[in-house]
Amino acid sequence: MDIRLLWLAVGTFAIGVESFAISSLLPQIAESTGVSLTMAGYLVIAFALANAFGSPVLAALTGTVDRRRTLTVSALLFSAGAVWASLSFGYADLMAARIMMAFSAGLYTATAQATGVAISSVDHRARAISVIVGGTTMAVAFGAPLGALVAGLVSWRGSYVMVAVFGVIAATSIWVLLPSGLRGAPLSLRQRIAAVALPGVPGALLTTLFNLAGAFTVIIYLAVITTTAIGLPRELVPVVLLVFGVGAAIGNFAGGQLADRVGARQTVVVVVAFNAVLLALASLVPLLPAPLIAPVFFVLVFIWGSIGWAFPPAQSSYLLSLSPASAPLVLSLNASALYLGIAGGSLVGGLVLQHGTPSDLGWVGAMLPAVSLVGILLSALARRQARPSLARMG
Protein backbone atom coordinates (compact mmCIF):
# COMPACT_ATOMS: atom_id res chain seq x y z
CA MET A 1 0.00 0.00 0.00
CA ASP A 2 1.20 3.51 -0.83
CA ILE A 3 1.98 5.15 2.53
CA ARG A 4 0.82 8.50 1.14
CA LEU A 5 -2.74 7.21 1.07
CA LEU A 6 -2.63 6.74 4.83
CA TRP A 7 -1.68 10.38 5.37
CA LEU A 8 -4.48 11.48 3.07
CA ALA A 9 -6.74 9.37 5.29
CA VAL A 10 -5.54 11.26 8.39
CA GLY A 11 -7.26 14.33 6.96
CA THR A 12 -10.54 12.49 6.40
CA PHE A 13 -10.15 11.10 9.92
CA ALA A 14 -9.95 14.63 11.36
CA ILE A 15 -13.01 15.68 9.36
CA GLY A 16 -14.90 12.55 10.43
CA VAL A 17 -14.09 13.10 14.11
CA GLU A 18 -15.66 16.56 13.98
CA SER A 19 -18.63 15.39 11.91
CA PHE A 20 -19.54 12.42 14.11
CA ALA A 21 -18.39 13.53 17.57
CA ILE A 22 -20.78 16.48 17.43
CA SER A 23 -23.68 14.11 18.15
CA SER A 24 -22.32 13.83 21.69
CA LEU A 25 -21.40 17.52 21.94
CA LEU A 26 -24.80 19.02 21.06
CA PRO A 27 -26.22 18.98 24.62
CA GLN A 28 -23.09 20.72 25.95
CA ILE A 29 -23.05 23.20 23.07
CA ALA A 30 -26.73 24.03 23.56
CA GLU A 31 -26.15 24.63 27.27
CA SER A 32 -22.98 26.65 26.70
CA THR A 33 -24.38 28.89 23.97
CA GLY A 34 -27.83 29.30 25.55
CA VAL A 35 -29.85 27.83 22.66
CA SER A 36 -32.27 24.93 22.41
CA LEU A 37 -31.14 21.47 21.38
CA THR A 38 -32.96 21.91 18.07
CA MET A 39 -31.09 25.18 17.43
CA ALA A 40 -27.82 23.42 18.24
CA GLY A 41 -28.77 20.79 15.65
CA TYR A 42 -28.85 23.54 13.02
CA LEU A 43 -25.05 23.65 13.35
CA VAL A 44 -25.03 20.19 11.79
CA ILE A 45 -27.42 21.24 9.03
CA ALA A 46 -25.31 24.30 8.15
CA PHE A 47 -22.12 22.21 8.02
CA ALA A 48 -23.75 19.55 5.86
CA LEU A 49 -25.28 22.01 3.38
CA ALA A 50 -22.06 24.02 3.06
CA ASN A 51 -20.13 20.81 2.45
CA ALA A 52 -22.65 19.39 -0.04
CA PHE A 53 -22.90 22.50 -2.21
CA GLY A 54 -19.46 23.94 -1.61
CA SER A 55 -17.50 20.82 -2.46
CA PRO A 56 -18.26 20.63 -6.22
CA VAL A 57 -17.91 24.41 -6.64
CA LEU A 58 -14.54 24.61 -4.88
CA ALA A 59 -13.32 21.45 -6.62
CA ALA A 60 -14.13 23.06 -9.99
CA LEU A 61 -12.39 26.32 -9.05
CA THR A 62 -9.23 24.58 -7.82
CA GLY A 63 -9.18 21.67 -10.29
CA THR A 64 -5.98 22.77 -12.02
CA VAL A 65 -4.17 23.96 -8.88
CA ASP A 66 -1.30 21.87 -7.50
CA ARG A 67 -3.09 19.23 -5.42
CA ARG A 68 -0.42 19.15 -2.73
CA ARG A 69 -1.03 22.85 -2.16
CA THR A 70 -4.82 22.48 -2.26
CA LEU A 71 -4.79 19.63 0.25
CA THR A 72 -2.36 21.36 2.61
CA VAL A 73 -4.20 24.68 2.57
CA SER A 74 -7.64 23.09 2.98
CA ALA A 75 -6.40 20.96 5.91
CA LEU A 76 -4.89 24.04 7.58
CA LEU A 77 -8.07 26.05 7.01
CA PHE A 78 -10.06 23.21 8.54
CA SER A 79 -7.75 23.28 11.57
CA ALA A 80 -8.05 27.07 11.80
CA GLY A 81 -11.83 26.70 11.77
CA ALA A 82 -11.61 24.15 14.59
CA VAL A 83 -9.49 26.55 16.66
CA TRP A 84 -12.01 29.31 15.92
CA ALA A 85 -14.83 27.01 17.09
CA SER A 86 -12.97 26.20 20.32
CA LEU A 87 -12.60 29.94 21.07
CA SER A 88 -16.06 31.01 19.84
CA PHE A 89 -18.04 33.38 22.06
CA GLY A 90 -21.55 32.39 21.07
CA TYR A 91 -23.86 30.51 18.74
CA ALA A 92 -23.39 32.76 15.67
CA ASP A 93 -19.62 32.69 16.12
CA LEU A 94 -19.62 28.89 16.31
CA MET A 95 -21.93 28.66 13.28
CA ALA A 96 -19.51 30.76 11.19
CA ALA A 97 -16.56 28.61 12.30
CA ARG A 98 -18.36 25.39 11.32
CA ILE A 99 -19.30 26.77 7.90
CA MET A 100 -15.64 27.61 7.28
CA MET A 101 -14.72 24.07 8.35
CA ALA A 102 -17.37 22.62 6.05
CA PHE A 103 -16.08 24.39 2.94
CA SER A 104 -12.49 23.33 3.63
CA ALA A 105 -13.60 19.78 4.54
CA GLY A 106 -15.53 19.38 1.29
CA LEU A 107 -12.60 20.62 -0.77
CA TYR A 108 -10.16 18.38 1.09
CA THR A 109 -12.25 15.22 0.72
CA ALA A 110 -12.92 15.72 -3.00
CA THR A 111 -9.25 16.52 -3.70
CA ALA A 112 -7.97 13.66 -1.53
CA GLN A 113 -10.04 11.09 -3.46
CA ALA A 114 -8.91 12.50 -6.81
CA THR A 115 -5.29 12.50 -5.62
CA GLY A 116 -5.54 8.92 -4.39
CA VAL A 117 -6.72 7.88 -7.84
CA ALA A 118 -3.95 9.91 -9.52
CA ILE A 119 -1.08 8.35 -7.54
CA SER A 120 -2.40 4.77 -7.84
CA SER A 121 -2.27 2.30 -10.70
CA VAL A 122 -5.48 1.61 -12.60
CA ASP A 123 -6.09 -1.73 -10.88
CA HIS A 124 -5.66 -0.18 -7.41
CA ARG A 125 -7.84 2.91 -7.75
CA ALA A 126 -10.87 1.50 -5.94
CA ARG A 127 -8.59 0.32 -3.14
CA ALA A 128 -7.04 3.80 -2.90
CA ILE A 129 -10.48 5.38 -2.51
CA SER A 130 -11.41 2.81 0.15
CA VAL A 131 -8.28 3.68 2.17
CA ILE A 132 -9.11 7.39 2.10
CA VAL A 133 -12.76 6.78 2.97
CA GLY A 134 -11.47 4.43 5.67
CA GLY A 135 -10.25 7.52 7.53
CA THR A 136 -13.89 8.45 8.04
CA THR A 137 -14.70 4.93 9.20
CA MET A 138 -11.93 5.04 11.78
CA ALA A 139 -13.27 8.40 12.92
CA VAL A 140 -16.65 6.80 13.53
CA ALA A 141 -15.10 3.82 15.30
CA PHE A 142 -12.58 5.58 17.51
CA GLY A 143 -12.45 9.33 16.83
CA ALA A 144 -16.06 10.13 17.77
CA PRO A 145 -15.86 8.30 21.14
CA LEU A 146 -12.50 9.99 21.77
CA GLY A 147 -14.04 13.37 21.01
CA ALA A 148 -16.91 12.61 23.39
CA LEU A 149 -14.43 11.52 26.08
CA VAL A 150 -12.39 14.72 25.70
CA ALA A 151 -15.60 16.75 25.87
CA GLY A 152 -16.53 14.97 29.10
CA LEU A 153 -13.11 15.62 30.64
CA VAL A 154 -12.43 19.15 29.38
CA SER A 155 -15.50 20.46 27.51
CA TRP A 156 -16.70 20.48 23.93
CA ARG A 157 -14.09 23.17 23.19
CA GLY A 158 -11.31 20.69 23.97
CA SER A 159 -12.67 18.33 21.32
CA TYR A 160 -12.23 21.04 18.69
CA VAL A 161 -8.63 21.58 19.77
CA MET A 162 -8.02 17.85 19.28
CA VAL A 163 -9.57 18.02 15.79
CA ALA A 164 -7.32 20.98 14.93
CA VAL A 165 -4.22 18.97 15.93
CA PHE A 166 -5.20 16.08 13.63
CA GLY A 167 -5.71 18.56 10.78
CA VAL A 168 -2.26 20.07 11.25
CA ILE A 169 -0.67 16.60 11.32
CA ALA A 170 -2.40 15.75 8.02
CA ALA A 171 -1.35 19.05 6.40
CA THR A 172 2.29 18.64 7.44
CA SER A 173 2.50 15.02 6.28
CA ILE A 174 0.88 15.79 2.93
CA TRP A 175 3.23 18.69 2.25
CA VAL A 176 6.27 16.52 3.02
CA LEU A 177 5.22 13.29 1.29
CA LEU A 178 3.17 14.27 -1.76
CA PRO A 179 5.01 15.32 -4.91
CA SER A 180 4.34 18.74 -6.34
CA GLY A 181 2.91 19.15 -9.83
CA LEU A 182 -0.13 16.88 -9.47
CA ARG A 183 -2.95 18.72 -11.19
CA GLY A 184 -6.45 17.71 -12.18
CA ALA A 185 -8.22 18.09 -15.49
CA PRO A 186 -9.77 21.53 -16.07
CA LEU A 187 -13.38 20.41 -15.52
CA SER A 188 -16.05 23.07 -15.13
CA LEU A 189 -18.79 22.92 -12.51
CA ARG A 190 -21.27 22.06 -15.28
CA GLN A 191 -19.14 19.12 -16.39
CA ARG A 192 -18.88 17.86 -12.83
CA ILE A 193 -22.60 18.12 -12.18
CA ALA A 194 -23.34 16.50 -15.56
CA ALA A 195 -22.27 13.19 -14.03
CA VAL A 196 -25.66 13.19 -12.30
CA ALA A 197 -27.26 12.37 -15.66
CA LEU A 198 -25.27 9.16 -16.16
CA PRO A 199 -27.54 6.07 -16.34
CA GLY A 200 -28.42 4.77 -12.89
CA VAL A 201 -26.64 7.56 -11.03
CA PRO A 202 -29.68 9.72 -10.09
CA GLY A 203 -31.44 6.82 -8.37
CA ALA A 204 -28.26 5.81 -6.55
CA LEU A 205 -27.71 9.35 -5.28
CA LEU A 206 -31.30 9.50 -4.00
CA THR A 207 -30.72 6.19 -2.23
CA THR A 208 -27.69 7.68 -0.49
CA LEU A 209 -29.63 10.80 0.47
CA PHE A 210 -32.68 9.04 1.96
CA ASN A 211 -30.75 6.24 3.65
CA LEU A 212 -28.34 8.66 5.32
CA ALA A 213 -31.15 11.05 6.25
CA GLY A 214 -32.89 8.23 8.11
CA ALA A 215 -29.72 7.16 9.89
CA PHE A 216 -28.74 10.69 10.92
CA THR A 217 -32.18 11.44 12.28
CA VAL A 218 -30.94 9.21 15.10
CA ILE A 219 -27.13 9.49 14.95
CA ILE A 220 -27.04 13.26 15.47
CA TYR A 221 -29.21 12.96 18.57
CA LEU A 222 -27.79 9.68 19.85
CA ALA A 223 -26.55 11.36 23.05
CA VAL A 224 -30.07 12.65 23.74
CA ILE A 225 -31.56 9.21 23.11
CA THR A 226 -28.97 7.62 25.39
CA THR A 227 -29.58 9.94 28.32
CA THR A 228 -33.29 10.78 27.94
CA ALA A 229 -35.03 7.84 26.24
CA ILE A 230 -32.77 5.04 27.53
CA GLY A 231 -31.98 6.73 30.84
CA LEU A 232 -28.21 6.17 30.92
CA PRO A 233 -25.86 8.75 32.50
CA ARG A 234 -24.04 11.21 30.23
CA GLU A 235 -20.72 9.55 31.15
CA LEU A 236 -21.75 6.47 29.15
CA VAL A 237 -22.28 8.38 25.88
CA PRO A 238 -18.64 7.77 24.77
CA VAL A 239 -19.18 4.05 25.43
CA VAL A 240 -22.30 4.04 23.27
CA LEU A 241 -20.38 5.80 20.48
CA LEU A 242 -17.53 3.31 20.82
CA VAL A 243 -19.92 0.35 20.54
CA PHE A 244 -21.49 1.94 17.47
CA GLY A 245 -18.04 2.72 16.04
CA VAL A 246 -16.66 -0.79 16.49
CA GLY A 247 -19.74 -2.10 14.73
CA ALA A 248 -19.21 0.49 11.98
CA ALA A 249 -15.60 -0.60 11.44
CA ILE A 250 -16.73 -4.22 11.10
CA GLY A 251 -19.59 -3.22 8.82
CA ASN A 252 -17.35 -1.15 6.57
CA PHE A 253 -15.11 -4.16 5.95
CA ALA A 254 -18.04 -6.57 5.59
CA GLY A 255 -19.87 -4.25 3.20
CA GLY A 256 -16.94 -4.22 0.78
CA GLN A 257 -16.57 -7.99 1.00
CA LEU A 258 -20.28 -8.61 0.43
CA ALA A 259 -20.35 -6.20 -2.50
CA ASP A 260 -17.54 -8.16 -4.15
CA ARG A 261 -19.07 -11.58 -3.46
CA VAL A 262 -22.83 -11.19 -3.85
CA GLY A 263 -23.01 -7.92 -5.77
CA ALA A 264 -22.98 -4.26 -4.77
CA ARG A 265 -26.60 -3.56 -5.64
CA GLN A 266 -27.89 -6.59 -3.73
CA THR A 267 -25.83 -5.56 -0.71
CA VAL A 268 -27.21 -2.02 -0.84
CA VAL A 269 -30.82 -3.28 -0.95
CA VAL A 270 -30.34 -5.59 2.05
CA VAL A 271 -28.51 -2.95 4.09
CA VAL A 272 -31.11 -0.25 3.41
CA ALA A 273 -33.91 -2.64 4.42
CA PHE A 274 -32.19 -3.58 7.68
CA ASN A 275 -31.41 0.09 8.39
CA ALA A 276 -35.14 0.85 8.28
CA VAL A 277 -36.00 -2.10 10.54
CA LEU A 278 -33.30 -1.34 13.12
CA LEU A 279 -34.21 2.34 13.28
CA ALA A 280 -37.82 1.40 13.97
CA LEU A 281 -36.70 -1.03 16.69
CA ALA A 282 -34.78 1.78 18.39
CA SER A 283 -38.12 3.39 19.27
CA LEU A 284 -39.31 0.18 20.93
CA VAL A 285 -36.33 -0.29 23.26
CA PRO A 286 -37.59 2.19 25.93
CA LEU A 287 -40.82 0.14 26.14
CA LEU A 288 -38.98 -2.98 27.35
CA PRO A 289 -38.83 -4.00 31.03
CA ALA A 290 -36.35 -1.75 32.85
CA PRO A 291 -33.61 -4.40 33.40
CA LEU A 292 -33.52 -5.17 29.66
CA ILE A 293 -33.43 -1.63 28.27
CA ALA A 294 -29.69 -0.91 28.59
CA PRO A 295 -28.32 -4.30 27.41
CA VAL A 296 -30.74 -4.48 24.47
CA PHE A 297 -29.87 -0.90 23.54
CA PHE A 298 -26.13 -1.66 23.41
CA VAL A 299 -26.71 -4.78 21.31
CA LEU A 300 -28.98 -2.86 18.94
CA VAL A 301 -26.45 -0.02 18.59
CA PHE A 302 -23.69 -2.49 17.73
CA ILE A 303 -25.81 -4.34 15.14
CA TRP A 304 -27.05 -1.07 13.67
CA GLY A 305 -23.47 0.23 13.36
CA SER A 306 -22.39 -3.00 11.67
CA ILE A 307 -25.23 -3.12 9.16
CA GLY A 308 -25.64 0.61 8.60
CA TRP A 309 -21.97 1.22 7.92
CA ALA A 310 -21.87 -1.58 5.35
CA PHE A 311 -23.76 0.85 3.10
CA PRO A 312 -20.94 3.32 2.11
CA PRO A 313 -18.48 0.81 0.57
CA ALA A 314 -21.25 -1.13 -1.17
CA GLN A 315 -22.81 2.04 -2.55
CA SER A 316 -19.42 3.36 -3.70
CA SER A 317 -18.74 0.04 -5.41
CA TYR A 318 -22.12 0.22 -7.13
CA LEU A 319 -21.49 3.77 -8.34
CA LEU A 320 -18.06 2.77 -9.63
CA SER A 321 -19.69 -0.05 -11.61
CA LEU A 322 -22.11 2.43 -13.18
CA SER A 323 -19.37 4.71 -14.47
CA PRO A 324 -15.77 3.54 -13.94
CA ALA A 325 -14.40 6.31 -16.18
CA SER A 326 -16.06 9.02 -14.08
CA ALA A 327 -15.24 7.54 -10.68
CA PRO A 328 -13.95 10.72 -8.94
CA LEU A 329 -16.89 12.79 -10.23
CA VAL A 330 -19.54 10.27 -9.28
CA LEU A 331 -18.03 9.64 -5.84
CA SER A 332 -17.84 13.39 -5.25
CA LEU A 333 -21.54 13.71 -6.07
CA ASN A 334 -22.25 10.79 -3.75
CA ALA A 335 -20.42 12.66 -0.97
CA SER A 336 -22.66 15.67 -1.63
CA ALA A 337 -25.74 13.43 -1.46
CA LEU A 338 -24.41 12.00 1.79
CA TYR A 339 -24.09 15.44 3.37
CA LEU A 340 -27.50 16.47 2.08
CA GLY A 341 -28.80 13.35 3.82
CA ILE A 342 -27.05 14.41 7.04
CA ALA A 343 -28.65 17.86 6.74
CA GLY A 344 -32.07 16.35 6.08
CA GLY A 345 -31.76 13.90 8.95
CA SER A 346 -30.64 16.64 11.34
CA LEU A 347 -33.61 18.79 10.32
CA VAL A 348 -36.10 15.94 10.67
CA GLY A 349 -34.62 14.97 14.04
CA GLY A 350 -34.83 18.55 15.30
CA LEU A 351 -38.48 18.78 14.27
CA VAL A 352 -39.21 15.47 16.01
CA LEU A 353 -37.66 16.79 19.24
CA GLN A 354 -39.72 19.98 18.94
CA HIS A 355 -43.03 18.18 18.52
CA GLY A 356 -42.38 14.74 19.99
CA THR A 357 -39.91 12.86 22.19
CA PRO A 358 -36.45 11.32 21.68
CA SER A 359 -38.14 7.91 21.54
CA ASP A 360 -39.91 9.01 18.35
CA LEU A 361 -36.66 9.58 16.45
CA GLY A 362 -36.26 5.92 15.51
CA TRP A 363 -39.59 5.24 13.85
CA VAL A 364 -39.61 8.61 12.07
CA GLY A 365 -36.08 8.01 10.79
CA ALA A 366 -37.06 4.52 9.60
CA MET A 367 -39.52 5.98 7.11
CA LEU A 368 -36.73 7.60 5.06
CA PRO A 369 -34.73 4.45 4.14
CA ALA A 370 -38.09 2.74 3.62
CA VAL A 371 -38.91 5.36 0.97
CA SER A 372 -35.48 4.75 -0.55
CA LEU A 373 -36.11 1.00 -0.62
CA VAL A 374 -39.43 1.46 -2.40
CA GLY A 375 -37.67 3.62 -4.99
CA ILE A 376 -35.01 0.94 -5.56
CA LEU A 377 -37.61 -1.78 -6.03
CA LEU A 378 -39.76 0.32 -8.40
CA SER A 379 -36.67 1.18 -10.43
CA ALA A 380 -35.74 -2.52 -10.71
CA LEU A 381 -39.30 -3.36 -11.76
CA ALA A 382 -39.27 -0.65 -14.44
CA ARG A 383 -35.98 -1.95 -15.85
CA ARG A 384 -37.32 -5.50 -15.89
CA GLN A 385 -40.45 -4.45 -17.77
CA ALA A 386 -38.40 -2.42 -20.23
CA ARG A 387 -36.27 -5.39 -21.30
CA PRO A 388 -39.02 -7.29 -23.19
CA SER A 389 -40.01 -4.06 -24.97
CA LEU A 390 -36.46 -3.49 -26.08
CA ALA A 391 -36.17 -7.11 -27.18
CA ARG A 392 -39.35 -6.81 -29.31
CA MET A 393 -38.06 -3.60 -30.88
CA GLY A 394 -34.81 -5.35 -31.75
Count Cβ atoms below 10 Å from residue 188 Cβ, excluding itself. 11
Residue 360 to residue 261: CA distance in whole angstroms? 37
What pLDDT shows up at residue 251? 86
pLDDT at 123: 63
- Per CATH, the homologous superfamily of domain 1-186 is MFS general substrate transporter like domains (1.20.1250.20)
Domain boundaries, the chain: 1-186, 190-387
In this prediction, residue 186 carries a pLDDT of 63
CATH number of 190-387: 1.20.1250.20
Give rounded-to-5 percent helix, strand, coil for the chain.
Answer: 90, 0, 10
Count how many residues are written for the chain.
394
Q: Residue 18's pLDDT is what?
A: 82
Residue 165: per-residue pLDDT: 93
Can you list the residues of the chain whose pLDDT is less than 50?
389-391, 393
Q: What is the pLDDT of residue 163?
A: 92
Question: Helices 264-282 and 237-262 meet at what angle, rounded to 10?
Answer: 150
Common-topology check for domains 1-186 and 190-387? yes
HSE-CB at 99 with a 13 A cutoff on CA atoms is 11
The CB density around residue 226, as the number of other CB atoms within 10 Å, is 24
Cα separation, 185 vs 151, in Å, equals 42
Query: Under the phi-then-psi rule, with left for phi > 0, alpha for psi from -120 to 50, and beta for the rest, what region is 187?
Result: beta
Q: Residue type for 35, please?
A: V
Q: Which tens digit of pLDDT belongs to each residue from 338-386?
A: 888 988 998 999 999 999 999 999 999 999 999 988 877 776 666 566 5
pTM: 0.82
Comparing CA positions, the residue from 101, 39, 102, 54 lying closest to residue 347 is: 39
Distance between CA atoms of residues 180 and 4, nearest Å: 13
